[in-house]
Structure 1
Amino acid sequence: MDYGPYLLIAAAAAFLLFLLVESRVKDPLVQLSMFRQRNFSAASATNLLVGFCLAIGLVSAPLLVNIRAESPTSEHIQKAAFIAGLLLSGLTIPMALAAIPGGWLSERYGYRVPTTLGLGLAMLGFLLAGLIWEGDTSYWLMASQMAMIGIGLGLTISPIGTAVLNDVNEGERGVASALILILRLIGMTVAISSLTVFSLERLDALIERHGPQVETTTETGEVVDASIDAYFNGAVQVIKELQFIGAAMSGAGLLVALLLKGGQFSQVPQTVKRIQSESGP
């Protein structure tokens, strides 16, 4: 029996119940009124999509490396793990370093510019990966696209975090800072779960449609080789399609990020403006 739909319904009901309780209690865990602030909502939604894209980047390259392993021996598996680690460092290290210029750009040009620039760069990286990656693509070429994605996502870290914290009251900043991490992790979790289902079903569909046409007189070894080739090519195709999904999610995040406003260092934070307007002249 498939419990998936029932679990999704239960999760949705629990989430709605959480929102109902939070809107009624005196001291909620999350002050829902924070989401009425434009920058807070836009940055939070963008952060969710950044987490989704990050999960695709973290999963895709190791998958492609592992299916390219010459054989399932310990030596080749260790070699594949080493290469996958190097490729992942090509994503994570540039991402961490790009957070610094992301902060500089945010101070000079506001939240919107580095966030949209970063997501545009990530979208380009995903598109190139989807178009270029094949079963025999050079690891150096893959690393260049991973770095592009990492730099793009890294540019969004500082402006998103600053936009969230500057758009809430001082007493809400602790929860707001936690939500930055939580929403990114939720985006990653949703990506892993949903794309796992998509990938498995898509692979089965590709094998059924383009699987090997084997004659009854074909030798067993040839049948095995044909099946391996079919699954390999199908897996590569699915990984390529994941990159296009990453590009689409980056584009969606870019559109949401266009709603961000302000953020230049010379500007007064939104919380200060609200306090000044409430206190009067």
Structure 2
Amino acid sequence: MTASPAAVAGKSNRAVLLTVTCLGQFMVLLDNTIVGAALPDMQQRLHTQLTGLQWIVDAYVLLVAMLLLSGGVFADRFGRKRVYLTGVVLFTAASLLCSLAPSVGWLIAGRVLQGVGAAALSPASLALLVAAHPMPQERVKAIGLWAGFSGIGLAAGPVAGGVLTEAFGWPAIFLVNLPIGLVLLLVGLRHLGESRNPGAPAIDVPGTVLSVLAVGVLTYGLIEGGARGWTSPVILGSFAAAAVLVVAFCAVEARRVAPMLPLGLFRQRLFTVSNTAMVVVGFALSGSSFFFSQFFVYVQGSSILRAGLQTLPVSLGMVLVSPYAGRLAARYGYRVVVTIGLALAGGGLLALGWVHADTGYGNVWWRLAVVGIGFALTMSPLTGAAIQSVSPQEGGLASGISSTTRQIGAVLGVAVLGAVVRNRQSGGGSFEAGLDSAFVAAGAVTLATAVFTGLLLARSKPVGGPAVAHRPTGSEVLGTPNEVPVKAS
């Protein structure tokens, strides 16, 4: 029996949509890891210190962290295609600005715009995918492919960053986004259909603004404290302002009908424990990854290309193990898998604290792999635990909050561990000694969190199936029934 032309056209359109959304997410995830390989070259050519490198990374992660939830609501409310393509345009234009940046200040500005674009692009891509696959089995397969491309982007970043930086210099890592963005825009305008959810909640503008300001001011204090002095009026003022903004954020969110962060969710112990652990995952993983390439280049004397290859065991470990983390949690329980994962990651980071200039790579790569495997075992189960702790109607929001807490941890990790390195150097130690202290600190925090989850991560097994895989945000994950398809323009 031959399929009807309409059915063939429908499958063709879904294939195009799947390609476009996966490629967009690939571009965003590639940017997460490709920058790390280029940091040594940026430091040399832009004549910046460690503080400048921290801002280059955190400017992007901060905006992604604080706008991710709002990006999902924007997509539902104003049209998934519109928000997705707007994110593509902004991310691509910002990449061009980054590649042309004549100074650290301009590069940081470009990274801020990239973060805004990514916060629109990523949740909207998943929203488009979910809206186009109403059948649960088809949806699971589509999300699996989408997540798979994310993993490829993470794994490809260090190698691509090393190759491009070695051959053309750091601007090339941003220029690679231009052809991808152009293809996404042209194909998306022609082939993507529009959809929206008119029942989506209103945008929580006060909550969004206060959250960005609070985390931004706190990050400023943590990054600049080492250079300006921890007791300087500016730094003390920034910490005080951050505290006031956090209190204001909580007060505003408690009174809003549809807050971006419903504080009542944190009354559930499983939700609170899983998100606390997710902050530590972001803190330790991103904070330590910030220094991997710098260790190989500055301490062991590797080239930028070789350093990119040498950091690959972390991302490969994550990509290879992540697909099995949910299944393991379904079989053995959240508590067991998460606690073992955190213990492995913490042990790997502590082991990195004993690596020195004369340590052979044969005694380094397995430590990196253990870190990647450990964190891979934690992320999906922690998100699954957060989702299980709330009602089905709040599952998408819980997933988005889990992603946001991890990103907040990433912002703080780069800032705090950078401060550890700077303080060790200012006390007369070497850069190598500072890195050792940073890795040990990250490992100690991670191991302490393993004890925390081992004691408090309740309700050990998922109900009714495997742990839910990590998904970015919003009501789009739920497949809410009040979808309104709109013909493509």
Return the TM-score normalized by structure 2: 0.46
Helix, strand or coil for the counterpart of 2:461?
coil
| Aligned residue number for residue 235 of structure 2 | 4
Contact persistence 2:281–2:375 (CA under 8 A): yes
> Which residue, out of 372, 393, 401, partners 1:150?
372
Of residues 27-36 and 252-261 in structure 1, the stretch that sits farther from structure 2 once superposed is 252-261
Letter in 1 for 2:283: F
1:254 aligns with 2:450: yes
**Structure 2: distance between partners of 1:197 and 1:124:** 22
Higher relative contact order (CA 8 A, sep 6+): 1
What pairs with 1:1-281 in structure 2 (closer than 5 Å)?
2=232, 3-68=234-299, 80-131=303-354, 133-207=355-429, 234-258=430-454, 259-265=456-462
CA change 1:199–1:68 in 2 (3 A) is: closer
Shift of 1:80: 2.1
Letter in 1 for 2:384: T
**Structure 2: distance between partners of 1:263 and 1:12:** 34
Runs (4 or more) in structure 1 with deviation over 6 Å come to none
| Aligned residue number for residue 219 of structure 1 | none
Shift of 1:65: 1.2
Helix, strand or coil for the counterpart of 1:206?
coil
Contact persistence 2:421–2:437 (CA under 8 A): no
Contact persistence 1:107–1:263 (CA under 8 A): no
Letter in 2 for 1:262: R
Shift of 1:164: 0.6
| Aligned residue number for residue 217 of structure 1 | none
Q: Which structure 2 segments of 5+ residues have no match? A: 1-227, 467-489
Shift of 1:98: 1.6
Question: Can you list the C-alpha shifts for 1:202-240, whole angstroms capped at 9, x where unaligned?
Answer: 102125xxxxxxxxxxxxxxxxxxxxxxxxxx1111111
**What is the Cα-based RMSD across aligned positions, in Å?**
2.0
**Structure 1: distance between partners of 2:388 and 2:299:** 47
Letter in 1 for 2:324: P
**Structure 2: distance between partners of 1:60 and 1:112:** 30
Shift of 1:29: 1.5
Letter in 2 for 1:241: S
**Structure 2: distance between partners of 1:5 and 1:194:** 16
Contact persistence 1:69–1:80 (CA under 8 A): no
Shift of 1:199: 1.4
Of residues 30-39 and 51-60 in structure 1, the stretch that sits farther from structure 2 once superposed is 51-60
| Aligned residue number for residue 279 of structure 1 | none
Contact persistence 1:87–1:146 (CA under 8 A): no
CA change 1:69–1:255 in 2 (3 A) is: closer
Shift of 1:67: 0.9
**Structure 1: distance between partners of 2:442 and 2:392:** 35
Shift of 1:34: 0.6
Helix, strand or coil for the counterpart of 1:262?
coil
CA change 1:37–1:203 in 2 (3 A) is: same
Letter in 2 for 1:188: A
Contact persistence 2:349–2:439 (CA under 8 A): yes
Contact persistence 1:164–1:177 (CA under 8 A): yes
Shift of 1:263: 4.5
Letter in 2 for 1:205: G
Letter in 1 for 2:418: T
CA change 1:85–1:151 in 2 (3 A) is: same
Letter in 2 for 1:58: S
Helix, strand or coil for the counterpart of 1:62?
helix
Helix, strand or coil for the counterpart of 2:390?
coil
**Structure 1: distance between partners of 2:343 and 2:293:** 24
**Structure 2: distance between partners of 1:182 and 1:87:** 29
Contact persistence 2:288–2:414 (CA under 8 A): no
Shift of 1:50: 0.6
Shift of 1:174: 2.3
**Structure 2: distance between partners of 1:123 and 1:162:** 21
Shift of 1:197: 2.1
CA change 1:112–1:135 in 2 (3 A) is: same
Q: Percent identity?
A: 28
Contact persistence 1:50–1:250 (CA under 8 A): yes
Letter in 1 for 2:458: K
Shift of 1:69: 6.3
Shift of 1:188: 1.1
Of residues 134-143 and 28-37 in structure 1, the stretch that sits farther from structure 2 once superposed is 134-143
**Structure 2: distance between partners of 1:266 and 1:204:** 51
